Chains A and B, each alone.
Chain A
């Protein structure tokens, strides 16, 4: 039965308000053409996954990531790499543009330490933004990798983002786009993340225990926005939420497993 028929019937029925909401939540993604049983990549963080419509990063759609400010590009790239490292087994494609290499090129040993096996990664160096977008679309259409990521040097217009979203939808692959810092423009991306740097977690000896990022979910279709201080455990490929502590010295001596806290 087409969902459009179901809606009026459902709304006209006097009943439990929560039930109607639940039904609407179920129907809305179908209205927007998203596959009903879409695969997702959960963060395994209940407070975060609860805000995402399908309980995780949806496959087959475009996700946009931006650094909070220009110098926080490495943090945003780290967030993207951590997400890619959690993808199911298979090849990962990362498209780079000359502008984004201002902050350096991905270092294999660094990716390895972040839990992303460099042997899975194919790096594509495009000569300009146009070619990078073409390469991303081509990779999505071929469905050869399990995920496609792009690091762009310029902002994305609505039409291009729609193209990428459509290509991702047709192949069922997730597409993560890292764009430069700046005010967000309208785009077809399902989620938009803003990643900022945060002081790292330190163990009792003052050594770096895990990378931390200030992650803000700025926009989420059919979900809710939020802001968290996330920590990534590269050995276990696991995200965790860290208590927001301004002074890293205070976190010294804290338990190795940071307590779950929710903010935003």
Chain B
């Protein structure tokens, strides 16, 4: 059975709002976290409360109340608009941070409340000395960020969710009242991942409640919980309560058929998911890699050389697994876990599968250099990468692995095999420094339209096969990105040009060869494109141009226009 850890962050929108307020002080009056404060969402009948802080709850307000009623109940109520997108983005960043425990982290969907996340810690818990320790460490670090979290570990996401949300420790109506962390009342903690100020050494007590459920005891654990713990739609739970079902235990030993008839599939599906009778797929924030290696550092690092050195060691750790499975890495992701909870990711692609740690190190070095270069140039990409107070952990993941045949180390190496490797390494190096789209090969495309007759493929692609050149169709050596209009004098409207002006220079045509008529691809456009008549034109000095006349005279247009499309050698 998998082991799932569920993390619930009570009052997430409130905490995120207050944290953002500390980072970017608002122009108008700041919210005082000690006084009643609610976030409102526009709903039927006017704005309603979406989230509220402890002080507001103490005044008898509930989520879902009309803001107008709430103002009457609580004096001096502070109301702000809820920002679901910002909440989700911040939660995603926190989930990325949590990939330091396991690469498989999934956010809570909207029907789960969207204020927490799951960690699939199957096979990862022993790295932290067992699940209990992992939960303690997670709670401790979240507490350091000022996030009082409720944690639970169970075999299924459904049970873990239920325990985190409605477990014994958090069943009290005011969850924050029971918090044991230092300075518990200031729920505007200073270390939420939004904030640049880290709290590297939080109080050892940490925040959060922990529920640990051994395997196979889902039914016992769920029996005592309210039926809302099954993640049901509000109407369903209201109906169930009206029918007299208040606890999950009351549902467990009942016959299934009447429930299926009454509640369609929802109730039974949720029940089965919680009990592990059906699987519940999780949508992970990052796709879990095939091979993964992680290193926690005693001291945070920020220097480029240090990052490269650690990455090299991580790659060396991975090599054994790659050799064992006979594969090489085609794509890598280096995750840098910043002290304050931000996660920076560097993606690296390879032209050929590789296991070479020094090659990986060089590419990472080049990538970091490139990022640093854009930082100096003040470009937007630089803002995304910032060492801040340093990185406390580095993870290297093989996101794409590809079969890589073992080769005998020959005493007299075959010439071409080494060359293919060198070529792949060169392409990787150039792409890291110059950008992924900078290295290209040209591949032919079956089209008569010159600008469509070739495509730039990535250099890693298979070798394109070019047909033998057609002697009857001259093609220019250099093709202009866009055909440029030219002023052409032609003795007859549908004849070859005798003089033309292009880019401010006048050319006397000594010799024109053509036309080669190329019709537009009618199946590509709704409105027919005009036909082109191409001429190879040479001026008196020997400059050679590829000109075309757009439109057939008197059939498609009355005044054909001329363009320069390419230049011959």
Question: Quick check: B426 and A139 within 8 Å, CB to CB?
Answer: yes
Question: Quick check: B567 and A103 within 8 Å, CB to CB?
Answer: yes
Task: Enumerate B409-447 residues with CB–CB distance to A below 8 Å.
Answer: 419, 422-423, 425-427, 429-430, 433-435, 437-444
B172 at interface (Cβ–Cβ under 8 A)? no
Assembly CA distance A196 to B423 (angstroms) = 34
- Tally A residues with Cβ within 8 Å of B: 59
Contacts of B541 in A (CB 8 A): 197, 199
Question: Quick check: B566 and A113 within 8 Å, CB to CB?
Answer: no
Given A81-B477, A104-B480, A138-B426, also A71-B543 (CB < 8 A): yes
Assembly CA distance A216 to B419 (angstroms) = 35
Question: Quick check: B480 and A197 within 8 Å, CB to CB?
Answer: no
Q: Mark A47-81, 1 if CB is under 8 A from B, else 0.
A: 00000000000000000000000011011011101
Question: Quick check: A81 and B479 within 8 Å, CB to CB?
Answer: no
Q: Mark B536-568, 1 if CB is under 8 A from A, else 0.
A: 101011111000000000000000000000111
Contacts of B440 in A (CB 8 A): 122-125
Question: Quick check: B422 and A248 within 8 Å, CB to CB?
Answer: no
Question: Quick check: B569 and A125 within 8 Å, CB to CB?
Answer: no
Assembly CA distance A127 to B567 (angstroms) = 23
Question: Quick check: A74 and B426 within 8 Å, CB to CB?
Answer: no
Contacts of B542 in A (CB 8 A): 75, 196-200, 212, 214
Question: Quick check: A109 and B419 within 8 Å, CB to CB?
Answer: no
Contacts of A71 in B (CB 8 A): 505, 543
A226 at interface (Cβ–Cβ under 8 A)? no
Contacts of B459 in A (CB 8 A): 122
Question: Quick check: A74 and B466 within 8 Å, CB to CB?
Answer: no
Q: Which of B426, B450, B469, B478 contacts A112 (CB 8 A)?
A: B469
A144 at interface (Cβ–Cβ under 8 A)? yes
A-B contact count (CB 8 A): 182
Instruction: Look across to chain B and name the residue whose beta carbon is closest to the beta carbon of A135.
Output: B430
Task: Enumerate B284-342 residues with CB–CB distance to A below 8 Å.
Answer: none
B46 at interface (Cβ–Cβ under 8 A)? no
Assembly CA distance A126 to B422 (angstroms) = 20
Q: Which of B442, B474, B510, B540 contacts A113 (CB 8 A)?
A: B474
Q: Which of A72, A122, A211, A248 contacts B439 (CB 8 A)?
A: A122
B511 at interface (Cβ–Cβ under 8 A)? yes
A64–chain B nearest beta-carbon distance, Å: 18
Question: Quick check: A74 and B479 within 8 Å, CB to CB?
Answer: no
A222 at interface (Cβ–Cβ under 8 A)? no
B464 at interface (Cβ–Cβ under 8 A)? yes
Question: Quick check: B434 and A114 within 8 Å, CB to CB?
Answer: no
Question: Quick check: B477 and A127 within 8 Å, CB to CB?
Answer: no
B463 at interface (Cβ–Cβ under 8 A)? yes
Q: Mark B475-489, 1 if CB is under 8 A from A, else 0.
A: 111111100000000
Assembly CA distance A121 to B464 (angstroms) = 10
Assembly CA distance A124 to B423 (angstroms) = 13
B400–chain A nearest beta-carbon distance, Å: 22
A118 at interface (Cβ–Cβ under 8 A)? yes
Question: Quick check: B426 and A104 within 8 Å, CB to CB?
Answer: no
Instruction: Look across to chain A and name the residue whose beta carbon is closest to the beta carbon of B568.
Output: A74
A207 at interface (Cβ–Cβ under 8 A)? yes
Task: Enumerate A101-148 residues with CB–CB distance to B below 8 Å.
Answer: 101, 103-114, 117-119, 121-127, 131, 134-135, 138-139, 142-145
Contacts of A118 in B (CB 8 A): 441-442, 444, 454, 464, 466
Contacts of B425 in A (CB 8 A): 142, 144
- Pairs A–B under 8 Å by Cβ, sample size 7: A108-B444, A108-B454, A113-B474, A119-B464, A142-B429, A145-B426, A197-B544
**Chain A residues near B (Cβ < 8 Å):** 71-72, 74-75, 77-79, 81-82, 90-91, 101, 103-114, 117-119, 121-127, 131, 134-135, 138-139, 142-145, 196-200, 202, 206-208, 211-214, 232, 234, 248
CB-based closest 6 A-B pairs: A78-B569, A104-B478, A197-B542, A108-B442, A107-B479, A109-B475
